[in-house]
């Protein structure tokens, strides 16, 4: 298939192995390694999986932490070699740290130190995954509001009226976020650390917790690092506890991908097709040739269309209804940059970026949702780390991408009523024609500014999008997932 990893990062090729690696390490230079990406013929995790829990103070005793027990059981059922303590283990493929029961930050010490003792045994491309509850008022999505003193008069109250133990618990929950993000920065050998935040009232073994665990353990999340998936509901297929989704989780789904003629959009279209979807590739008429070549390879019909056309959504809907009778998903990937410092910015640069990157996804989604054929619609928008942290010279682009973050957050409850979800993916530095335009020296620096010290591939972004479109992510909505190797710049 044409979605095999490719990069023009010569430095990575030289230092990822052999003498080049030794020289880079001895000089204290960045020493990125080739990341472990999904391969159906190799095990999903590069060694045994260790499940630790905070429980009642001991991190290792089965029975002291029911959520850790349930997660360990799930992983056993799925065929992984599961351990509950690290004694005698010389190589570990992944550590799953279950912290759902954490009520005070001090309770983090024992499991944190136990994890620390294991990190040297973590295999290249290994994983650390925390499972915990979101702090209220800080982490996005799904958290219940703090109870007031009236709910628990015995607990004593803080200034805002919440019981103190709830305040303690909230500090502990947010503590996990800072902890995990720091762990991710200390990982080596292409290993990553990510977390799953499970909303109060949602089981630690809810379908999207298990689906998220599958995604984060696998090579499909190679460039996702230092991030949290927020599971806000129990939605999703029950069978996920026993059977993975296999290689074709998007079987027969009708999914539109805009901006599909090249770059990230092309890889999204190829991967969704490989996962069983009926892909509708869209791009501007000027890109008609590569677009129709792609459509031919995927055995589908392309739709040449400028997404800023006032009737773009209606035309997409008609195309999908005529061919397939419905639409199941749309990936708003088409995007442009028109960088200038704000002092030099002109009206057309600012307006055109907003028009393509934000106004078109808003208008198209609105037009799609006017029709019952879009019931159950899965929407994925392309945001950017620039839209989260800001970026010099990109006021227009950052505004447009932050707009996508806001769009999916507000769309989530609207779509939930119709069985759908809306999420965004925020890529960091990805090796595409867009980033190839960055001058050489800046490009070399930009690639190294993340915990994995390399640019991601379009495939990495496509993998995250495919996951968000799948049933395994039915309980995840309104979220923005960064695919940035834990980009160290900004917020
Ligand atoms: P690209 O420039 O290589 O491809 C963008 C595609 O969108 C092109 O095929 C283009 O023809 C199409 N397009 C542009 N305007 C259109 C319109 N009006 N109607 C229909 N199609 C249109 O870009 P890319 O690097 O593949 O980026 C894809 C998406 O990912 C964009 O939304 C971009 O902002 C986002 N992104 C990219 C990076 C990165 O590092 N490359 C980082 C963050 C976010």
- Whether the CB of 119 sits within 6 Å of ligand 1: no
- Whether the CB of 431 sits within 6 Å of ligand 1: no
Element (H, E) at 255: strand 254-258
Q: What is the pLDDT of residues 262-305, one digit of tens each?
A: 999 999 999 999 999 999 999 999 999 999 999 999 999 999 99
Same domain, 264 and 218: no
User: How many C-beta atoms lie closer than 10 Å to residue 145's C-beta?
Assistant: 8
Q: What is the pLDDT of residues 97-146, one digit of tens each?
A: 999 999 999 999 999 999 999 999 999 999 999 999 999 877 443 344 44
Task: Examine residue 19 and state whether it is found in any structural domain, yes or no.
Answer: no
Same domain, 89 and 138: yes
Bin 340: left if φ > 0, else alpha if -120 < ψ < 50, else beta: beta
Same domain, 441 and 307: yes
Residue of the nearest CA to atom 33 in ligand 1?
A: 335
Per-residue confidence (pLDDT) for residue 205, from 0 to 100? 95
Q: For residue 264, which atom of ligand 1 is closest to its CA?
A: 26
Rounded to the nearest whole angstrom, what is the distance from the C-alpha of residue 266 to the centroid of ligand 1? 10
Q: What is the pLDDT of residues 169-208, one digit of tens each?
A: 999 999 999 999 999 999 999 999 999 999 999 999 999 9
Rounded to the nearest whole angstrom, what is the distance from the C-alpha of residue 322 to the centroid of ligand 1? 27
CA 127 to chain centre: 15
Q: What is the pLDDT of residues 314-343, one digit of tens each?
A: 999 999 999 999 999 999 999 999 999 999
Rounded to the nearest whole angstrom, what is the distance from the C-alpha of residue 259 to the centroid of ligand 1? 6
Per-residue confidence (pLDDT) for residue 102, from 0 to 100? 95
Task: Examine residue 236 and state whether it is found in any structural domain, yes or no.
Answer: no
Same domain, 176 and 258: no
Q: What is the pLDDT of residues 250-263, one digit of tens each?
A: 999 999 999 999 99
- Whether the CB of 334 sits within 6 Å of ligand 1: yes
Per-residue confidence (pLDDT) for residue 489, from 0 to 100? 72
Rounded to the nearest whole angstrom, what is the distance from the C-alpha of residue 382 to the centroid of ligand 1? 9
User: How many C-beta atoms lie closer than 10 Å to residue 240's C-beta?
Assistant: 23
Residue of the nearest CA to atom 44 in ligand 1?
A: 384
Same domain, 193 and 277: no
Same domain, 281 and 200: no
Q: For residue 461, which atom of ligand 1 is closest to its CA?
A: 30
| Measured distance CA(421)–CA(411) in Å, rounded | 8
Task: Examine residue 299 and state whether it is found in any structural domain, yes or no.
Answer: yes
Residue of the nearest CA to atom 2 in ligand 1?
A: 434
Same domain, 132 and 278: no
| Measured distance CA(66)–CA(55) in Å, rounded | 8
- Whether the CB of 303 sits within 6 Å of ligand 1: no
- Whether the CB of 435 sits within 6 Å of ligand 1: yes
Rounded to the nearest whole angstrom, what is the distance from the C-alpha of residue 337 to the centroid of ligand 1? 8
Structural domain tally of the chain? 2
- Whether the CB of 354 sits within 6 Å of ligand 1: no
Per-residue confidence (pLDDT) for residue 229, from 0 to 100? 98
> Residue 461 gets which letter from DSSP?
H
Q: Which sequence positions are flagged as catalytic? A: 397
Same domain, 66 and 151: yes
- Whether the CB of 291 sits within 6 Å of ligand 1: no
> If we measure between CA atoms, which residue out of 295, 294, 302 comes closest to residue 320?
302
Same domain, 110 and 184: yes
Residue of the nearest CA to atom 6 in ligand 1?
A: 259
Report residue 2's pLDDT band, with 50, 70 and 90 as the boundaries: very low
- Whether the CB of 250 sits within 6 Å of ligand 1: no
Mean per-residue pLDDT over the chain, rounded: 90
**φ/ψ of residue 170, rounded to 5:** -65, -40
- Whether the CB of 262 sits within 6 Å of ligand 1: yes
Q: What is the residue whose two structure tokens read 């500090």?
A: 171
Cα separations in angstroms, 283 against 31, 94, 290: 38, 40, 9
Q: For residue 357, which atom of ligand 1 is closest to its CA?
A: 32
Q: Is residue 23's pLDDT more than 80?
A: no
Task: Examine residue 22 and state whether it is found in any structural domain, yes or no.
Answer: no
- The domain of 211 spans 32-231
Same domain, 438 and 363: yes
Task: Examine residue 362 and state whether it is found in any structural domain, yes or no.
Answer: yes
Task: Examine residue 332 and state whether it is found in any structural domain, yes or no.
Answer: yes
Per-residue confidence (pLDDT) for residue 490, from 0 to 100? 59
Same domain, 201 and 61: yes
Rounded to the nearest whole angstrom, what is the distance from the C-alpha of residue 387 to the centroid of ligand 1? 15
Per-residue confidence (pLDDT) for residue 238, from 0 to 100? 82
Per-residue confidence (pLDDT) for residue 11, from 0 to 100? 72
Per-residue confidence (pLDDT) for residue 441, from 0 to 100? 87
Q: For residue 335, which atom of ligand 1 is closest to its CA?
A: 32
Q: Which among 175, 196, 231 is the end of a domain?
A: 231
Per-residue confidence (pLDDT) for residue 291, from 0 to 100? 98
CATH of the domain at 409: 3.40.50.720
Q: Are strands 49-53 and 378-382 parallel, antiparallel or unpaired?
A: unpaired
Task: Examine residue 8 and state whether it is found in any structural domain, yes or no.
Answer: no
- Whether the CB of 384 sits within 6 Å of ligand 1: yes
Q: Is residue 237's pLDDT more than 50?
A: yes
Report residue 158's pLDDT band, with 50, 70 and 90 as the boundaries: low
Task: Examine residue 311 and state whether it is found in any structural domain, yes or no.
Answer: yes
Same domain, 226 and 259: no
Question: In the chain, what percentage of residues exceed pLDDT 70?
Answer: 88
Q: Is residue 477's pLDDT more than 50?
A: yes
Q: Which ranges of 286-394 does DSSP label H, i.e. alpha helix?
A: 288-298, 312-324, 347-354, 360-369, 385-389
């Amino acid at each position: 298939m044409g979605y095999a990893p490719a990069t023009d990062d010569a430095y990575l090729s030289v230092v990822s192995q052999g003498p080049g690696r030794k020289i880079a390490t001895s000089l204290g230079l960045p020493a990125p390694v080739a990341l472990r990406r999904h391969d159906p013929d190799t095990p999903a995790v590069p060694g045994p999986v260790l499940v630790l829990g905070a429980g009642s103070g001991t991190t290792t005793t089965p029975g002291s932490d029911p959520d850790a027990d349930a997660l360990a059981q799930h992983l056993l059922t799925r065929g992984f070699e599961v351990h509950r303590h690290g004694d005698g283990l010389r190589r570990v493929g992944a550590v799953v740290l279950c912290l759902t029961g954490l009520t005070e930050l001090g309770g983090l010490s024992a499991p944190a130190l136990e994890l620390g003792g294991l990190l040297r045994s973590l295999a290249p491309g290994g994983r650390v995954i925390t499972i915990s509850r979101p702090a209220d008022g800080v982490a996005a999505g799904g958290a219940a509001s703090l109870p007031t003193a009236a709910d628990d008069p015995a607990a004593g109250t803080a200034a805002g009226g919440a019981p103190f133990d709830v305040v303690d618990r909230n500090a502990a929950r947010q503590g996990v976020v800072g902890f995990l993000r720091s762990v991710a920065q200390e990982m080596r050998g292409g290993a990553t650390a990510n977390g799953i935040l499970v909303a109060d009232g949602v089981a630690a073994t809810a379908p999207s917790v298990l689906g998220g665990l599958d995604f984060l353990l696998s090579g499909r999340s190679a460039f996702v690092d230092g991030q949290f998936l927020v599971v806000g509901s129990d939605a999703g297929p029950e069978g996920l506890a026993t059977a993975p989704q296999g290689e074709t989780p998007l079987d027969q789904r009708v999914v539109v991908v805009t901006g599909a003629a090249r770059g990230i959009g092309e890889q999204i279209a190829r991967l969704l097709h490989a996962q069983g979807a009926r892909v509708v590739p869209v791009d501007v008429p000027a890109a008609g040739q590569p677009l129709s070549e792609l459509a031919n390879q995927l055995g589908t019909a392309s739709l040449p269309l400028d997404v800023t056309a006032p009737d773009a959504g209606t035309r997409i809907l008609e195309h999908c209804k005529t061919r397939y009778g419905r639409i199941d998903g749309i990936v708003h990937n088409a995007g442009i940059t028109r960088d200038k410092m704000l002092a030099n910015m002109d009206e057309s640069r600012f307006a055109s970026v907003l028009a393509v990157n934000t106004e078109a996804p808003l208008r198209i989604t609105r037009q799609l949702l006017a029709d019952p054929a879009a019931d159950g619609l899965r929407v994925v928008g392309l945001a950017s780390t620039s839209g989260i942290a800001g970026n010099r010279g990109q006021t227009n682009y950052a505004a447009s991408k932050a707009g996508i973050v806001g769009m999916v957050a507000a769309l989530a409850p609207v779509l939930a009523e119709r069985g759908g979800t809306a999420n965004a993916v925020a890529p960091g530095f990805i090796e595409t024609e867009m980033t190839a335009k960055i001058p050489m020296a800046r490009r070399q620096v930009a690639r190294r500014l993340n915990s994995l010290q390399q640019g991601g591939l379009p495939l990495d972004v496509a993998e995250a999008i495919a996951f968000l479109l799948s049933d395994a992510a039915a309980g995840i909505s309104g979220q923005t997932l960064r695919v940035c190797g834990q980009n160290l710049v900004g917020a």
